[in-house]
């Protein structure tokens, strides 16, 4: 039984048993590991996940928090369980079409079930909650937009090409920095790569979303890689296909897999939620790369007039031909970082 199956089974049972009067109706989740309970809160019928630990394990951690979609509270157990504490994770609104609360709780249950002690479980719980808080604050609960969906595919397609080029899987997973807010999508020491995707007819224009995206200050080399695709329903390779392929290719390195999964989540890719684009696939049209160096047409933060900020602009690649390089040059630069 998976963590999500165990949670849904427990929530269904407690919802059926719960009395109409106010209270928290819960039972232990049938999943290996620590004492974890799931139930519903009346009135409202809100689902809750409760992790029971020794109170002493919380001395250095403040879990009380609220963010979009859920809240975290701490409650001492009754006198019969002196010294024991519940960490409650509770949804704060009706379940959306993409039931992220189940996915969030299943992720937490999976992670803490692997911990050998309660202090370790508390530390892992804190890490996962911080990770999910960043996700909920930065991503729409409705899922990836069309632009984000295409952009994520292009990044993973580049990831796939890098693995084929012999780049170390651990370094590659670590180097995928775009989902965690870096200025460029990939960063390998002093070598950075920005990925741009195109699915329309105007392939010479790309959008630069911030003034530091093409700024090579502090870098040894910066590359801009563009990938053009046909994006059609029931045709080509889907986002889910490339995700599964990369999971298989990374399977021999558990640490690389763990980083890859975290970056996927940070990018807004959540399973098993459905997307309106699931049946749409990508067929490559062409790829090209540019070495962003002195003379490359771009705006730089240091040259902006005082008082100008939050700059985005359109770059016409037709004027960048003298900076075009082969994909092999990019791969060699990454391999030598």
- The burial class, CB within 10 Å (0-12 / 13-18 / 19+), for 334 is buried
**Residue 98 confidence (pLDDT):** 47
Backbone angles phi, psi at 33, to 5 degrees: 120, -140
**Residue 97 confidence (pLDDT):** 41
* Residues 170, 186: Cα–Cα separation, whole Å: 13
Give the strand pairing for 221-233 and 205-208: unpaired
**Residue 171 confidence (pLDDT):** 94
**Residue 1 confidence (pLDDT):** 77
* Residues 314, 161: Cα–Cα separation, whole Å: 26
DSSP 261-305: HHHHHHTT--SS---TTTTEEEEEEEEEEEE--TT-S---GGGSP
**Residue 236 confidence (pLDDT):** 96
CA 171, 177, 178: angle at the middle one, nearest 5?
145
pLDDT along the chain (337 residues), means of 10: 88 92 94 92 93 84 78 85 88 65 86 91 89 72 84 98 95 91 92 96 91 94 97 96 97 90 83 82 97 95 86 94 97 90
**Residue 47 confidence (pLDDT):** 94
Return the H-helix or E-strand segment holding 235: none
pTM of the model: 0.70
Residue range 165-190, pLDDT digits in tens: 999 999 999 999 998 778 999 999 99
């Amino acid at each position: 039984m998976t963590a999500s199956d165990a949670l849904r089974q427990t929530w269904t049972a407690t919802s059926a048993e719960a009395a109409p009067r106010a209270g928290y109706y819960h039972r232990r989740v049938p999943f290996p590991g620590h004492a974890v309970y799931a139930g519903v809160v009346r009135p409202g019928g809100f689902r809750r996940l409760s992790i029971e630990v020794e109170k002493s394990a919380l001395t250095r951690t403040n879990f009380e928090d609220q963010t979009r979609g859920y809240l975290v509270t701490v409650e001492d157990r009754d006198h019969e369980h002196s010294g024991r504490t519940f960490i409650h994770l509770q949804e704060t609104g009706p379940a959306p079409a993409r039931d992220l609360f189940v996915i969030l709780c299943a992720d937490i249950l999976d992670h803490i079930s692997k911990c050998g002690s309660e202090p370790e479980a508390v530390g892992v719980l804190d890490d996962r909650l911080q990770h999910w808080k960043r996700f909920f604050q930065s991503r729409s609960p409705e899922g990836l937009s069309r632009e984000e969906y295409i952009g994520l595919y292009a990044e993973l397609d580049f990831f796939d090409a890098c693995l084929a080029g012999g780049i170390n899987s651990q370094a590659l997973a670590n180097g995928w920095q775009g989902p965690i807010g870096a200025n460029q999508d990939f960063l390998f020491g002093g070598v950075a790569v920005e990925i741009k995707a195109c699915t329309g007819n105007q392939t010479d224009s790309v959008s630069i979303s911030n003034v530091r995206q093409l700024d090579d200050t502090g870098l040894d080399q910066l590359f801009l890689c563009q990938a053009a695709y046909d994006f059609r329903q029931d045709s080509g390779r889907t986002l889910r296909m490339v995700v599964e392929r990369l999971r298989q290719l990374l399977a021999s390195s558990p640490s690389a897999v763990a980083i890859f999964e975290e970056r996927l989540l940070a990018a807004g890719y959540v399973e098993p939620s459905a997307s309106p684009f699931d049946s749409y696939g990508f067929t490559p049209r062409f790829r090209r790369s540019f070495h962003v160096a002195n003379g490359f047409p771009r705006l730089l933060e240091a040259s902006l007039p005082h008082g100008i900020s939050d700059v985005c602009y359109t770059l016409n690649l037709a004027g960048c031909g003298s900076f075009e390089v082969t994909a092999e040059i990019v791969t060699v630069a990454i391999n030598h970082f």
